[in-house]
């Protein structure tokens, strides 16, 4: 499939303007612009929250005593076990085979 020609795009634009009017199209484009701006703002805030969480995790890792180190190792071992259990569950789910009949000629 190929892209429409510039003349086809111009014809489509003229039909849209005739059907909806210039005011409706411009207000619609304004709403699209606001949506894009809000999306970009949300992405920026999300990345800032992620950076802040990463910085706080780095501060939590800075430990002084052996008790803190042992506790951190235990937490990491527990997280690793959860991850391995999730991986095993996913592997078991993916190994299930589809038993639905594929023969559509007997309908």
Using DSSP's 3-state secondary structure scheme, residue 101 falls into coil
pLDDT for residue 51: 73
pLDDT of residue 78: 93
Residue 72: CB atoms within 10 A of its CB come to 13
pLDDT band at residue 16 under the 50/70/90 scheme: confident
Res 7: pLDDT? 92
pLDDT tens digits for range 40-98: 988 888 777 777 766 666 555 555 678 888 888 899 999 999 999 988 888 777 666 65
The Cα 72–Cα 60 span in angstroms is 10
pLDDT at 103: 61
Q: List the domain boundaries for the chain.
A: 14-91
Counting every residue, how long is the chain? 107
Contacts of 12 (CB under 8 A, 6+ apart): 4
* H-helix segments, 1-107: 6-20, 22-61, 66-95
């Amino acid at each position: 499939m190929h892209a429409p020609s510039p003349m086809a795009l111009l014809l489509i634009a003229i039909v849209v303007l005739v059907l909806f009017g210039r005011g409706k199209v411009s207000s619609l484009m304004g709403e699209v612009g606001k949506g894009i701006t809000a999306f970009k703002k949300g992405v920026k805030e999300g990345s800032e929250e992620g950076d802040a969480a990463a910085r706080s995790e780095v501060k939590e890792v800075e430990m002084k005593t052996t008790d803190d180190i042992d506790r951190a190792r235990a937490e990491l071992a527990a997280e690793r076990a959860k991850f391995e259990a999730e991986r095993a569950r996913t592997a078991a789910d993916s190994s299930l085979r589809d038993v639905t009949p594929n023969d559509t000629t007997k309908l």
